[in-house]
Amino acid sequence: METGRVEAFSDGVFAIAVTLLILAVGIDQAPHGDLGRYLLDLWPAYVAYAVSFLTIGIMWVNHHLLFDNFARVDRPMLLLNILLLMLIAFAPFPTRVVAEFARSEVDRRNAALLYGITMTTTAILFFSLWMYGSRRLLRADADPRVVSGITRSYLPGAPLYATATLLAFVNSIASLIMFAAIAIFYALSAALFGRTDATVSRTAASGDPS
């Protein structure tokens, strides 16, 4: 199967998962009491929505970056990719749980653990997909420096998320803050410190060589 088709389907799942994050804000729950206070008290939901949106958005960018280096997609890769999408599409659930329980003394820890286990597993799958693909499916003309650069930059992902998850046992507020910090760090580093030649011209994209 061609990489383009797998990417198109993956794009669909990414786009839908990210949009379904609105469920984390409790769009399906009737607001009650004083609306102004209700909307202000929802602030953990807004933060959880933004952090998860940013996280999945960056994963989408990286997903394309990986597949750009693959010459083709084989069957184990198809399965790995379906498993990865299974976790991406799951993200709205832990996001909602965190949104609802971030202010609860009793349940905050369990919410942070659910979120952390989901994110750590996602990061592990993401890295496995890259390790498998970079050893078996690489394009002949893939730049070795780009390949090892990607490996280096994805290496700390899973340990970072695992650390934030374990942090919940010590301090669940610190754990949640660390999840937000990871998302912001990746977003800013992707936006500001990326290689300047990573951009591709529109003519190349449209297949029009003129």
The residue count for binding its own copies (CB under 8 A) is 84
**What tokens were used for 165?**
């998850």
- Cα gap 185→7, rounded to integer Å: 25
CB of 103 to its own copies, least distance (A): 13
Smaller CB distance to its own copies: residue 114 or 123?
114
Q: Which two tokens stand for residue 210?
A: 């003129």
By CB under 8 A, name the one of 36, 105, 144, 170 that touches its own copies. 36
Among residues 27, 144, 145, 170, which is the contact residue for its own copies, using CB under 8 A? 27
Does 106 bind its own copies (CB under 8 A)? Our answer is yes
111 is a contact residue toward its own copies (CB under 8 A): yes
Would you say 82 or 174 has its CB closer to its own copies? Answer: 82
Look up residue 153 and give its amino acid: S
Task: Find, among 164, 155, 195, 169, the residue nearest to 182 by Cα.
Answer: 164
Tokens of 95: 């996001």
The answer to the question of residue 59 lying near its own copies (CB under 8 A) is no
Q: Hey, which residues between 166 and 205 contact its own copies (CB under 8 A)? A: 187-188, 190-192, 194, 196, 198-205
List the end-to-end C-alpha distance of the chain, in Å, as a whole number: 29
Q: One symbol per residue from 114 to 153: x for binding its own copies (CB under 8 A), - otherwise; what is it?
A: x------------------------x--------------
Buried residues in 169-207 as b, exposed as e (16+ CB within 10 A): eeebeebbebbbebbeebbeebeeeeeeeeeeeeeeeee
